[in-house]
Structure formats: structure tokens, C-alpha cells
Structure 1
Amino acid sequence: MAARHLSIFGWLLKCRMRDEDDSDVIQTMLSPTDARYVEKQRKHPVALITRIRQVVALEAKRGNLNPGSHRSLEANLLELNRIYGMCERLRGSPVPPMYSRHTSRLLMFWLFSLPLSLNSTSISAFVNVLLVMVAGFVTLGLDEISMQLEQPFRLMPMQQLAGSVMLDVADAFVERPPKLDGEEDIEGEESGANLKAPKYWTD
């Protein structure tokens, strides 16, 4: 169960940062009970972390996790929570619109006054026009890039990152390493060569 929750963390984070609907991912990957719980929460990625922490605590209580492994898993979950918090701060703290508008107006004023300044020099009209075109192309391009960087999650390849996270989880939980020489078989454990990742993890 923890593997399913962890595998869709990247997808839910992508949907959260881009204001997209994540109900299909939740209902496909999680059980009905877990899906209802996650969808009722305001922040779906945090709900996943909470559910994974609940599973880890239960396994530790049953004695299936030693104290060192328990602390390591808790530290990793705290790191996921910290990463989500950083993403939320980036998303919730864009550059004020007035700053962007003022910068654009100042840039346009400078571009309109540039030909007049160059006209007072001894350069030809052709060079004047050429310099203004180059300056306008560079400065307007930088202004457009700065406006896009206000919302970095629209530019980042989050689709590929989320898919990579899911495949990494499949590699860690589904594809078990082969037994060492002399290692005894554990009752109920299948050989790593006989396990196959679910179809939705390999598409």
C-alpha cells in the first residue's frame, strides 16, 4: 500500500502545482477507502505522506521494522514534506503584477528613446535601425523569460519527472534482487525474476 501512495506522489504534486485535476490518478492507483481519504483533504500530496507515515508506524509497531529503518523512513518522509512545502512557497509567492507591468513600461520607454540617442551619434541610419532591432530582440526576450519564470512549474518537465518517480518505486518494490549463494528462501517470498510490474507502471 505504501508503494502505491509513494508512486503517485509526483503526479499529485504536478497536479497541485499546475492546478490540474488528479482524481483519475487517485482513483486508479489507490483503494476506494484511501482514495476517499485523499480526495477529502485540501492538500493531496500531504495526505499521501500522512498515509505512508501511518503504514510505517504500524509496521514498526508490529516489529517488522527495526528502529534504525523506522527513523530512516521517517526522515525521508519529512524530506518529502519539506520539498512539498518549498514548492508551495514558490507557487504562492509570484512576482507582483505591478512590478512586471512597470518593468515592461520602462523597457518600452527605453527602446523608444534608444533611436533618438543613437541618432545624435555619427552612425548611419542603417546601423541605427540594426542596433535598435538587436537591442529590442534581446531585452524583450529577457522580459518574456522573466515572466515565464514567475511560474516555473509550467516550464518544468513534471510529466516526465512524475513518470520517473513511479518507475523508480516499481524498481525498488517490485523488482527484488536475486538471492545470494547460500541464502535461504523466505516463506511466501517470490523470486525477483518472477515478479512483474503492473501495466500502469510500465506504460
Structure 2
Amino acid sequence: MSSTKFAMTLGFIQAPILLMLTLKTNRALDRMLETRKAWGVLSKATRTLTNLNMVYLFKYDPEITLLIVRYLAFVGWSLKATYRKDEDDTEMIQTLFKHYPDEKEYLLSSPTKKPVAIVTRIRYLLSLMSGSSTPPTILLRMEELIYDIETTIGICARVFVSPVPPTYTRHTSRVLLLYMFLLPAALIGTGVALVPAVLTACFASYVLVGIDEIGVEIEYPYNLLPMFSMSKGIQTEVSKQVDMNYNMAKMRLP
């Protein structure tokens, strides 16, 4: 009778454990989804900002415009190097800004993170074009797009520095370990034979520990998201906008 009561008591504990695992995993998935959406906004903002620069500013100052475009093509790679462990974008900076020694030095010696330095530099370069005849609405739209890029950088930084509270993670792991340790005794107490009880407990442990580990892995999404492909995609879209607008400028009007 006492064994049956013990099994029933353990059964009551099972529901809170599953709830804790579900909440932890859902929170980690939310962090990954939020980061992925932010990169989607970044891709759209860099593409549109490149297009506006080529259409409205290139004819006034091609050198500044193309420098802005270089920064836009690099911002994705910079984010990738900033929030992925053991990555460095120094070599890429030296290659991309080979003919711009001042820009290279600016990025390499920046006191802030490189994505923030890039946005600051883009905004400054655009301010140099304020004397052109670009419509104010276009300049306002450009600033809105820069704000979208800043928002993406801020979201990535927040996800990076604010993981799921360690106390919650540790408590979940400890309760899960206790549950798995007591599960074989509870199964045997309900009349299950020793071998099936052990096998069932092992299978349940594999499932529950796997869910817990998935939550830990996706809590830090930067190693799981295809950041190389996303950064490459941003660079490619920027390059396509430059080529398309440059060729369009050479088209003869009827």
C-alpha cells in the first residue's frame, strides 16, 4: 500500500516537472525566433537603404555612397563575428577597407562593438550628404532604416546578455534528476517487474533529459542559426542593388 502511495505521489510531481521543461524550452525557442526575425528586418533594411543611396545620393557623391554601401554589406558579418564565439572579422575588415585606411583604423580601434560603430559611421556619412537636393522625406526614410538596423543590433545584444535565469535552469535540472532517480522505485511499487521498470525509466530519462538539453542548446541561438548564409545573403542583396541601379543609370530613356 505504501509503494502505491509513493507512486501516486511521484505522479503528482511529474506534471510540474513537465511544465517547467515546457516553459524553459518555449522561452528558448522564443529567443531563437526573435533573433531570426531581427535578422530578417536587418536584411530588408540594408537592401532598401542601399537602393535609396544608389538612386538619390550616388549622383552627388559616388565615393561616399559606395563607402556607405561597403558598410551595409559588412554589417551582417560584423554581427556574426560579435556574437559567435571564437570568430574574428579583422581579416575581413582589412580586405574590405584595404583602400580606406582611415575607415579600417576606425573599425579596428572602435571603443564600442563593431556593429554599433558601423551604424554610427553610416549616419555620419549620410549627414555629409544633407546639402544635396535629396527630398527630406527620403532622408527621413533613410534614418528610419538606420533605426531598424540599430534595433536588430539591440535585439541581438539583449538575447546575448540575458539568458534564461540560471536559478530556473539549475532548479529544473535538480528536480528532474530526483524524479529520474525515484522513477524505477515507483514503477516497481505499482507491480511492474524489475527489468521493464528499469527500461521504462531509462527511456523516460532519455526523453526528459533530451528536452532539457534542447532548451539549453537553443537558449544561445547564434551557434544554431545559419548566420553565415544570412550574412552572405545580406552582402549579396547589397551587391545586387548596386549593380542593378548602376546599370539602370546607363539605360537610355525613350
TM-score range, shorter chain: 0.7 to 0.9
Query: Residue in 2 aligned with 1:198?
Result: none
Residue 114 (structure 2) pairs with residue 44 (structure 1): yes
Matching of residues 48-197 of structure 1 within 5 Å: 48-63=118-133, 65-176=134-245, 178=248, 183=253
Q: 1:181 Cα deviation (Å)?
A: 8.4
Residue 112 (structure 2) pairs with residue 11 (structure 1): no
Q: 1:115 Cα deviation (Å)?
A: 0.5
Task: Tell me, in whole angstroms, the C-alpha distance in 2 between the residues paired with 1:163 and 1:145.
Answer: 27
**CA-based RMSD:** 2.0
Structure 1 residues 181 and 154 mapped into 2: Cα distance closer, same or farther (>3 Å)? closer
Structure 1 residues 96 and 181 mapped into 2: Cα distance closer, same or farther (>3 Å)? closer
The code of the aligned residue for 2:83 comes to: M
Q: 1:159 Cα deviation (Å)?
A: 1.0
Name segments (4+ residues, structure 1) moved above 4 Å: 177-182
Residues 2, 52 of structure 1: 8 Å contact kept: yes
Number of equivalent positions: 183
Residue 90 (structure 2) pairs with residue 27 (structure 1): no
Residue 72 (structure 2) pairs with residue 2 (structure 1): no
Task: Tell me, in whole angstroms, the C-alpha distance in 1 between the residues paired with 2:107 and 2:131.
Answer: 24
Deviations 1:131-180 (A, max 9, x none): 21221111110111111123111211111111111001001112336479
Task: Tell me, in whole angstroms, the C-alpha distance in 2 between the residues paired with 1:95 and 1:36.
Answer: 37
Q: 1:83 Cα deviation (Å)?
A: 1.0
Q: 1:45 Cα deviation (Å)?
A: 0.5
Name the SS of the counterpart of 2:129 in structure 1: helix
Query: What are structure 1's unaligned runs of at least 5 residues?
Result: 185-203
Task: Tell me, in whole angstroms, the C-alpha distance in 1 between the residues paired with 2:179 and 2:101.
Answer: 60
Q: Percent identity?
A: 33
Q: 1:126 Cα deviation (Å)?
A: 3.7
